[in-house]
Amino acid sequence: MYIGYFQYSLVLILIAFLGVDKAGLDRNYKIVTGTTLLLLGFYNFSNNSILEYLLGIFGQLSISTTLLLIALVISNFSSFSLVNSRDKKSLLFLVVAIGVVFYPMTLGLTLTDPYRFGFQPNLLASVFLMAAILIWFLGYRFLAVCILAASISHEIGLLESDNYWDNLFDIYLFIYGMIYFVVAIFRKKIILHPFRKIDQNGK
Amino acid sequence: MFLAVTFSLLCWISFKISDRPRSLTQTSNQAGAISSQPIFSKRLIIREPSVNVVHSASLATLPDNGVAAVWYGGSREGARDTQIYLSRFSEPEGSWQNPRPIYSKKIVERELGRYIKKLGNPVLYADYHGRLYILFVSVSFGGWSGSAINLAISDDQGASWGSLKRLVTSPFANVSTLVRNNPVHIKQGAILVPAYHEFVGIFSEALIIGSSGEVIDKVRMSKGRGYLQPAIAMLTENSGVALHRSIDEKKRFVGFSRTNDAGKTWSSVQPLITPNPDSSVSIISNGSGKLVAILNPISNGRNQLSIAVSTDEGSTWSIVHDLEKSPIISDRFSYPNIIRTSNGNYHVVYTYNRKNIAHVHFNEAWLQKKVANK
């Protein structure tokens, strides 16, 4: 459950940081609001803390979402960027590409349930790990790290789920990816192939 | 002296009889070890006066041929004060212990470290080592379709429980997998847990759970929106059958499917000719080719609950006895659960008008007599 509290602490901190950015305030306000919201997360409202409510309602997040949250929190607070736009786009593209087939099937569209393959995932994990090596050498290091970290997490049982897919991605990352690409399409800012060559600025 | 001893004996017997819970009908024979005499008895399990609604009972055998039952109860279905209750039945004494709450919203919240709104659908299972498993659903958001499954194991027949484990069985925020019917043993210490999904689709599933409580596999038994709450009985190590509750208003018949690989794959669900009013069914094998089911064999309402027997591996069923048959359409006898103890006796529990859990106890001799009379 502690990994869940950590994940939703990151969510609260990120919300605080984005709020400060929106208000046009400086970095010191991020420290204050981030700390305040984090402490508020542990405050008990009618027997449960906000973190317990969030964990109860939304469940644990995947390792990829956790890494993305860590990267976004760090890059929002400092000049140190763990993930550039292309990294994020490649992760979201992979999650959306899998998710548009995966979620309808898991919700009962077909008799085959792809979620099942994540319970004894030797073959599935091997495919993803081989893909991660290829992806690493193609320069998509954040995506490769996400796959590697998800595989390690599943092996050591970091999350409460026994399923490999739950370590790899979750419905929230999928929804975020869908919104991201729909908005990008409407703004005509997206190039159809997200794995395009990037310039020196990482754009 | 003789008179004094006789008087004391009579007093003791009358005390034991008056100590028993109220019986719905007469007891036709005393319970006990394997008997060639027909045994049939029926009673209500006494509930706490403060509990208005009880529902969804489940049984498991204990090593001494005793029986344990769990159910949920509260001020109403889905209320936040709902608790999971456990009680034990002693065959020699023919009585149930006072039920005691074993899981409440608060206990589950503490154990899982998260907000829980309500509890429901507990299921019991006893493995070959005498360990008792409890599975039940909890909801944090929305209705029953927001359910997730929890599992705990007891090494002392339910006196205390190990740490509660949240089973993650759905990629969709882990919502909408529920349990209702008893697990069955399959190979290598694993259990096959009948489950179902009700969110966008409504369909039957089965979980394969290892001896440490880890989910090993998840099997889809139907798709779309048609059947749920499968009840599984194994005929051999690999072959088994399942009956399914039907939610299809046009096809109000019990669904039937079969496995030949210990539950890893299932045939498509086919409707039987036995009616089903969108209500839960329960099934058990007697180990020698006979299947016994408890079901509502009517198309509408739940005012009739019957024992059905199949001798052709579940393809056809004969109603051999009505446990309940009321002319009042609003009477509800539902959510049956049947088990068979190692001495060959059958125990059935079901919801009695949502106010009580009823318990029926019979043996093979009684069942054979009923089958012969048909």
Q: What is the pLDDT along chain B (374 residues), one digit of tens a residue?
A: 444 444 444 434 433 333 333 334 334 444 445 668 999 999 999 777 789 999 999 999 998 888 999 999 999 888 899 999 999 998 788 889 999 999 999 999 999 999 999 999 999 999 988 899 999 999 999 999 999 999 999 999 999 999 999 999 999 999 999 999 999 999 878 999 999 999 888 999 999 999 889 999 999 999 888 999 999 999 999 999 999 999 988 878 999 999 999 999 999 999 999 999 999 999 999 988 899 999 999 999 999 999 999 999 999 999 999 999 999 999 999 999 999 998 889 999 999 999 999 999 999 999 999 999 87
ipTM of the complex: 0.88
Which single residue is written with the structure tokens 């034991």?
Answer: B16
d(CA B163, CA A171): 28
Q: Global pTM?
A: 0.89
Beta bridge partners of B119: B138
For residue B170, list chain A residues with Cβ-Cβ distance below 8 A. Answer: 106, 115
Residues B29 and B35: beta-carbon distance below 8 Å: yes
Query: Which of A107, A110, A111 has its CB closest to that of B172?
Result: A107
Report the run of H or E that residue A60 belongs to, with start and end: none
Edge-to-edge strands, sheet with B304-310: B282-285, B291-295, B304-310, B318-325
Could A111 and B115 be called an inter-chain contact, meaning their C-beta atoms sit closer than 8 Å? no
Closest approach of B295 to chain A, Cα-based (Å): 26
Q: Of A50, A61, A107, which to mutate for an interface test with B (greatest number of B Cβ within 10 Å)?
A: A107
Edge-to-edge strands, sheet with B253-259: B227-234, B240-246, B253-259, B270-275
Domain boundaries, chain A: 1-59, 82-196
d(CA B61, CA B337): 12
d(CA B306, CA B304): 7
Burial of B181 (0-12, 13-18, 19+ CB in 10 A): buried
List the one residue out of B360, B354, B358 whose CA is nearest residue B77.
B354
d(CA B167, CA B164): 10
Could A106 and B171 be called an inter-chain contact, meaning their C-beta atoms sit closer than 8 Å? yes
Q: What are the φ/ψ torsions at residue B61 (nearest 5 degrees)?
A: -85, 150
**Coil/strand/helix, residue B176:** coil
